[in-house]
């Protein structure tokens, strides 16, 4: 097991939260503790004897505390391998070897988030602490590194289990976490100097917010979630969340955010694609209308509402098996009723946060982009046809455009009366997507006469508006931009159809 007892420790931390139990345990095992500044004073107030780093280095803390531990007598004791040559060199230079380094860095990200001025932010760039972490992590064969207050408890557990020693596997695990902390810390600093803290937020790959999932998209794939799930949601009931649950929940929150200012709206998603969306005067009516669009696909789906779930709606939803139900609130009787089915996950959405940046591994690197946060507004749309849309058509086109934006390309959405009637998505041609949508609408008994059509990208040929017209579609919203736009416009003019061009494409891969 490569057990190594801890005899000597260097402790230099910003946050003292949780440190007391660790420090007292180290003292119990007779560990010699070196420290500096505020940490030293904190430990001494606990009655724990401390040797000052100053007495080791022969130098006081200088430059307003900017330099305290940066010295060969500190880093030599951390980086020395426990082999004859290195130990002899330490002995010759009177350098004590350190078996444990405990650090908690200056709160750089928190200081940026607080709106502090530049001078204060710069002073929160930790130099000595980050160097101590990297040195100890590099020498994990012989040294234990604790890179943040979140690792105090795991170390206490390891020491209690091993009577003051650690195993190589434990040291390696702490080192892995340490490099996660340093990489995130450096990414946050880089993002600040780039003027983009959102990129840093999307790379929070540290043990601070790591959750190991049961598995990934499929059982043979491992998966981990990095993020503060509890900051956005309160889990009220149900089993543990899976990779697929989280992916669908992300898609659900993105779409329901489009309806934040609308009336009661229910969204049903399957594999991140909305297959039912409706806005009505009550959430029960919205649920029934959303379900009508595709009751088959809704089975085992993710449901999300923009208003509280009442008892009447809960009874209707309970007829169908689902994975996750999300709402800003639940009536007490509705929550008690829905909680009876133990595996179904109920989430209270506390504060939706839509990331501005998305990061995806690709080829031999990663690809980063701004997220598509643009939503069509009537004011930016241009009526391309002679016929002006009616007020009802405008309403339905804005509704359809919101749905269209959150489906996988190629996409066609058919909608009427604030209800998704059907959609075609993930098709290799736009005409296939449209034909899929028409067939699906007919399958579930919807009358497409007077409905509207939305497309995520332009029509390369007039065939889509031709098929739409035969199906009864009377208004079309699309980005435009094709060299053959005029052919589609001319067809609409000849057949009493309205067309609106947005100028905004919504490809989604």
- Per residue in 273-316, pLDDT (tens digit) is 999 999 999 999 999 999 999 999 999 999 999 999 999 999 99
Higher pLDDT, 204 or 27: 27
- Write a three-state SS string for 348-399: EECCCCCCCEEEEEECCEEEEEECCCCCCCHHHCEECCCCCCCHHHHHHHHH
203 CB-near residues (< 8 Å, 6+ apart)? 184, 187, 359
Averaged over 201-216, what is the pLDDT? 66
Q: Using CA atoms, how far apart are residues 288 and 280, in angstroms rounded to an integer?
A: 10
pTM of the model: 0.69
Please report the pLDDT score of residue 204 as a whole number: 52
Please name the helix (run of DSSP H) or strand (run of DSSP E) that holds residue 323, with its range, or none. Answer: strand 322-327
Mean pLDDT score, 51-70:
75
Tens of pLDDT, residues 94-120? 788 889 999 888 888 788 877 788 888
Domain boundaries, the chain: 4-201, 236-349, 378-501
Instruction: Please write the tens of the pLDDT for every residue from 463-474.
Output: 999 999 999 999
Q: Which residues pair with 367 in a beta bridge?
A: 360
Q: Is 61 exposed, middle or buried (0-12, 13-18, 19+ CB in 10 A)?
A: middle
* Top-confidence residue, 148 or 471: 471
More confident: 466 or 182? 466
Given this model, what pLDDT does residue 390 score?
A: 96
Higher pLDDT, 66 or 418: 418
Residue 432: predicted pLDDT: 95
Residue with more model confidence, 497 or 184: 497
Q: For domain 378-501, say whether CATH 3.40.630.10 is its number.
A: no
Report yes or no: 334 and 310 within 8 Å, Cβ to Cβ.
Answer: yes
User: In this structure, what is the dihedral angle of CA atoms 39, 41, 43, 46, given to the nearest 10 degrees?
Assistant: -150
- Active site (annotated) includes residue 405: no
pLDDT attached to residue 148:
85
Mean pLDDT (whole number) for 367-383: 86
Is there a catalytic annotation at residue 153? Answer: no
CA dihedral 108, 111, 116, 118 (to 10 degrees): 0
Task: Compute the distance between CA of residue 145 and CA of residue 103 in angstroms, rounded to an integer.
Answer: 8
Same topology, domains 4-201 and 378-501? Answer is no
Tens of pLDDT, residue by residue over 220-268, are: 998 888 788 888 899 999 998 999 999 999 999 999 999 998 999 999 9
Per-chain mean pLDDT for the chain: 88
**Reported CATH class of domain 4-201:** alpha beta
Distance CA 32, CA 233 (A): 44
For the chain, helix (H) and strand (E) counts, in that order, are 20, 23
Check whether 358 has a pLDDT greater than 60: yes
Residues 6+ apart with CB under 8 A from 391: none
Q: What value does the mean pLDDT take over residues 348-376?
A: 82
Q: What is the pLDDT of residue 364?
A: 83
Question: Which of 281 and 213 is assigned the larger pLDDT?
Answer: 281
| Residue 197 to residue 166: CA distance in whole angstroms | 37
Does 3.40.140.20 match the CATH number of domain 236-349? Answer: yes
Give the residue, 359 or 398, on which the prediction is more confident: 398
Q: Using CA atoms of 52, 57, 59, 60 in order, give the dihedral in degrees to the nearest 10.
A: -20
pLDDT of residue 65: 67
Asked if residue 404 lies in contact with residue 506, where contact means CB atoms within 8 angstroms, the answer is yes
Mean pLDDT value across residues 203-231: 78
- Please give the pLDDT value at position 106: 83
- Identify the residue whose tokens are 């350190």: 98
Choice among 24, 86, 271, 495 that is catalytic = 271
User: pLDDT band at residue 196, thresholds of 50, 70 and 90?
Assistant: low
Number of Cβ within 10 Å of residue 118's Cβ equals: 9
Which burial class, exposed, middle or buried, applies to 333 when counting CB atoms under 10 A from its CB (0-12, 13-18, 19+)? Answer: exposed
pLDDT exceeds 80 at position 320: yes
Identified catalytic residue from 86, 138, 348, 495: 138
30-36-37 Cα angle (round to 5): 130
pLDDT at 94: 79
């Amino acid at each position: 097991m490569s057990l190594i007892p801890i005899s000597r420790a260097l402790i230099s931390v910003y946050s003292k939260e949780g440190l007391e139990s660790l420090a007292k345990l180290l003292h119990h095992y007779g560990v010699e503790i070196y420290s500096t500044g505020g940490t030293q004073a904190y430990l001494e107030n606990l009655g724990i004897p401390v040797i000052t780093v100053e007495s080791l280095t022969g130098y006081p803390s200088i430059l307003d505390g900017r330099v305290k531990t940066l010295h060969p007598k500190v880093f030599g004791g951390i980086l020395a391998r426990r082999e004859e040559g290195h130990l002899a060199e330490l002995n010759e230079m009177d350098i004590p070897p350190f078996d444990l380094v405990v650090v908690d860095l200056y709160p750089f990200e928190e200081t940026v988030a607080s709106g502090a001025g530049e001078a204060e932010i710069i002073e929160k760039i930790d130099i000595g602490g980050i160097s101590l972490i990297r040195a100890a992590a590099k020498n994990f064969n012989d040294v234990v590194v604790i890179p943040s207050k979140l690792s105090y408890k795991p170390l206490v557990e390891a020491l209690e289990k091993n009577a003051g020693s650690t195993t190589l596997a434990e040291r390696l695990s702490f080192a892995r976490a340490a490099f996660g902390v340093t990489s995130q810390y450096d990414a946050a600093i880089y993002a600040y100097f780039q003027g983009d803290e959102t990129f840093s937020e999307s790379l929070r790959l540290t043990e601070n917010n790591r959750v190991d999932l049961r598995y990934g998209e499929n059982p043979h794939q491992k998966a981990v979630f990095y993020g503060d799930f509890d900051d956005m949601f309160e889990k009220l009931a149900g089993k543990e969340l899976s990779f697929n649950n989280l992916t669908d929940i992300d898609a659900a929150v993105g779409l329901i955010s489009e309806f934040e200012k609308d009336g009661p709206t229910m969204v049903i998603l399957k594999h991140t694609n909305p297959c039912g969306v409706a806005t009505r005067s009550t959430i029960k009516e919205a649920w029934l209308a959303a379900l009508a669009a595709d009751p088959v696909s809704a089975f085992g789906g993710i449901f999300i509402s923009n208003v509280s779930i009442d008892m009447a709606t809960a009874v209707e939803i309970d007829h169908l098996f689902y994975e996750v139900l999300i709402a800003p609130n639940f009536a007490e009787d509705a929550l008690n009723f829905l909680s009876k089915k133990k595996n179904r996950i109920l989430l209270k959405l506390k504060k939706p946060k839509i990331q501005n940046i998305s990061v995806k591994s690709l080829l031999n690197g990663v690809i980063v982009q701004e997220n598509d946060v643009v939503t069509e507004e009537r004011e930016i749309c241009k009526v391309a046809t002679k016929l002006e849309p009616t007020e009802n058509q405008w309403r339905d086109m804005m509704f359809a455009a919101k749905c269209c934006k959150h489906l996988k390309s190629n996409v066609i959405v058919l909608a009427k009366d604030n209800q998704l009637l059907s959609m075609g998505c993930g098709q290799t041609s736009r005409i296939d997507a449209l034909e899929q949508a028409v067939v699906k609408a007919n399958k579930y008994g919807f009358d497409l006469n007077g409905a509207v059509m939305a497309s995520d990208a332009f029509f390369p040929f007039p065939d889509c508006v031709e098929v739409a017209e035969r199906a009864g579609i009377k208004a079309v919203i699309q980005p435009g931009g094709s060299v053959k736009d005029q052919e589609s416009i001319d067809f609409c003019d000849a057949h009493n159809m309205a067309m609106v061009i947005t100028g905004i494409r919504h490809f989604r891969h």
